[in-house]
Amino acid sequence: MSKLSEITATRELILNLTLRELRSRYKRSVLGWAWSMLNPLSTVVIYTIVFKYFFHAQGPVGRPSGLKNFSIYLFCGLTAWNFFNASINGAMGTLVGNAGLIKKVYFPRENLVFATVLSSVVSFLIELGVAIVILLALGNNVLPWIPVILLLVLLETIFVTGLGLIVAVANAYFRDVQYLVGSILLQMLFYLTPIVYEAKVAYDATAGHPVLRRLYTANPTLQFVESFHRVMYDLRWPTASNFVYLFAASGISLVSGLWVFNRFDGDLAEEL
């Protein structure tokens, strides 16, 4: 049986693992799934106080929406980032965290990563739902753009799944990966992504440095965040180059992730 057929045949296991992740996420929490809304909202409030009132950051004027609101601009980008961050961190620890299960019984280990990402998708959709309600309350009619938003969600899900497979295997072999990626690289990537500032600020700063400009624009999280900004905040389509990049990056990420995972899957039980 091919690996793809094996994964497809165990789709019920993926569903059960996903439900297990969802049930355990807020276990023994009084507010439960309300934290899926409270966490991003509290982050937006904190960043708004710091960047808007201390550093006088201003939200851009959405074109053609006309919306000008720093908190909403921040929220639209932060939802996409939170999903990326939660998926990578979750996938990175899923093999190590399920070492006992992996050693006891054979099943496609990729399913653990898939379940982790899918559980993060649920939180992502809740955050997007909150953002859409707020946008509608402010007069930004984002409803016709929901199909485009869902397409972006799908592309980002494919992208983080591929990366998640890679970091999951890497962390199983070298535990330093969780500290390198989780504590350093993701933090750097957050500030290299236009979430608390406009991309125009970075473009202007790198105007005389074409190599830096290319490196900055090659950042995949920038492409996803900017696409969500365009659709939800501006009410316009992402550019053609955005779509080409996102489709290519998602495809390359998933294929690479599956190849790397399959390459090192055989020794996972011993390494764990």
pLDDT of amino acid 61:
85
Instruction: Write out the chain's pLDDT in tens, 272 residues.
Output: 466 677 777 788 888 888 888 777 767 766 666 777 777 778 778 877 887 777 777 778 888 988 898 888 988 999 999 999 999 999 999 998 888 888 888 888 899 999 999 999 998 998 899 899 999 998 999 999 999 999 999 999 999 999 999 999 999 988 889 999 988 999 999 999 999 888 888 888 888 888 888 888 889 999 999 999 999 999 999 999 999 999 999 999 999 999 999 888 877 766 66
Could you check whether the bond before residue 238 is cis, i.e. omega within 30 degrees of 0?
no
Q: What secondary structure does DSSP assign to the chain, as a single string?
A: --HHHHHHHTHHHHHHHHHHHHHHHTTT-SSGGGHHHHHHHHHHHHHIIIIIIIS---PPPPTTT----HHHHHHHHHHHHHHHHHHHHHHHHHHHHTHHHHHHS---THHHHHHHHHHHHHHHHHHHHHHHHHHHHTT---GGGHHHHHHHHHHHHHHHHHHHHHHHHHHHH-THHHHIIIIIIHHHHHHTSTTSS-HHHHHHHTTT-HHHHHHHHT-HHHHHHHHHIIIIII-SPPPHHHHHHHHHHHHHHHHHHHHHHHHHGGGHHHH-
Rounded CA separation 92/116 (Å) = 10
Q: What is the pLDDT of residue 2?
A: 63
Does residue 111 come out as left (phi exceeding 0), alpha (psi in the -120 to 50 range) or beta? Answer: alpha
Q: Residue 48 and residue 27: Cα distance in Å, rounded? A: 30
97 vs 171: CA distance, rounded Å: 11
pLDDT at 155: 98
Cβ atoms 57, 51 nearer than 8 A: yes
Task: Give burial (CB, 10 Å; 0-12/13-18/19+) of 160.
Answer: buried
Q: And the tokens for 33?
A: 């799934």
For residue 190, the model assigns a pLDDT of: 93
First to last CA, the chain: 25
Rounded to two decimals, the pTM is 0.91
30/156 Cα distance (integer angstroms): 31
